[in-house]
Amino acid sequence: MGIKEQIKTVLREAEIYRTQGLFNEAMVKFKYASELIEKNVKPENGRHLVNGITKKVELLKQTISKYNDPEKPPEMPVEIQNLIREKFSFSTDKESAALDGAIALTKFGQFERAIKEFKELLKMESFRLVAAKNILRCYFASSTSSSSAAEGAVFQYKEWLTLGLFTPGQLEKIRFFLENLLREKGIESGLPAAKEEKAAIKMEVAAKKAPDKAMPAIKPLIEIPGSGEEEEEFLDVSSVGIILETGEKKNPEIILDVSFQSGNMVCLIVPVREKLLIESMKAGLRLNNVQFYSPIAILNGSGVVAAFTKISSGPKMGNYSLDLKMFTN
């Protein structure tokens, strides 16, 4: 493929993302197209294209700001946080109930407390990987600044490299997961692999850590009892596309971002503007035409609505939370 065709392809992908409401993904593509033009097209020919892309990026930033609440969600009293954690812990076993409670805290915008709960779950081998991924998601969900969110998430990953808590295979999965979170925000990661720069990272983590840090580091793996069982693996999903069928009419695909994931259960945020979807949703409803978007594949499948509730507080207040159990074809 020639450079002109490559640029056209990237711009088409950006427009597809934009029209589907995937604004961050569109931003990444537009920036990549600009880089291709600046590196491969003569300035007198490429300046007009770059200026046009710059205008689209600015419009995207304005659009994104309309849907993002710039204010930090209010911190609830500890008693209310405890009530939320207990009320939404539906599982019968203690460990799964703890995971339910941590995820519930995120839905109410209590990310700092949720991170503490997820860190406790790191002590259990069967929940270690899912807890780590949701900790990283919390960093991005809790911050209105992509750069500060990225800084916190990358520092956390580097800390994990030094603890001996995860196996090399788990660390590579976490690294791949974080790289894709960063890429969605248009940030180049440059993350070290599990076997690289370990001594230097250990010194960096020790230097940055405050002595009065509210959330202490997890003890090394040798002191932590594990279940001996690896958690069941499911594809990491970044967004889900739902096509509703009303009578004989097939409606356009609605693409929703994944807020949190545990195995084959994902939590999706439904914007209040998606009135048709909101009116159709109820617990137990089976959705037969669903696409699951991951960094490595797009899979067709179905889903069952486990819960559908209105978010009453936090940065997503007024929107809806959709818990969906995924099934792939």
Helix (H, G, I), strand (E, B) or coil at 77: coil
Lowest mean pLDDT among 56-70, 180-194, 205-219: 205-219
Give the amino acid at 19: T
User: In the chain, what are the domains?
Assistant: 3-64 (1.20.58), 78-223 (no CATH), 239-328 (2.40.10.220)
Confidence of residue 297 (pLDDT cuts 50, 70, 90): confident
Strand pairing class (298-310; 286-293): antiparallel
| Tens digits of residue pLDDT in 50-86 | 777 777 777 777 666 655 544 555 566 777 777 767 7
- Determine the Cα–Cα distance for residues 227 and 214; give it in Å rounded to an integer: 27
- Mean pLDDT value of segment 113-139: 90
Confidence of residue 285 (pLDDT cuts 50, 70, 90): very high
How many percent of the chain have pLDDT more than 90?
A: 12
The overall average pLDDT reported for the chain is: 76
| Tens digits of residue pLDDT in 141-173 | 776 566 677 888 889 998 998 888 899 889 988
- Determine the Cα–Cα distance for residues 9 and 298; give it in Å rounded to an integer: 19
- Answer with the residue of higher pLDDT: 108 or 293: 293
- Mean pLDDT value of segment 165-194: 82
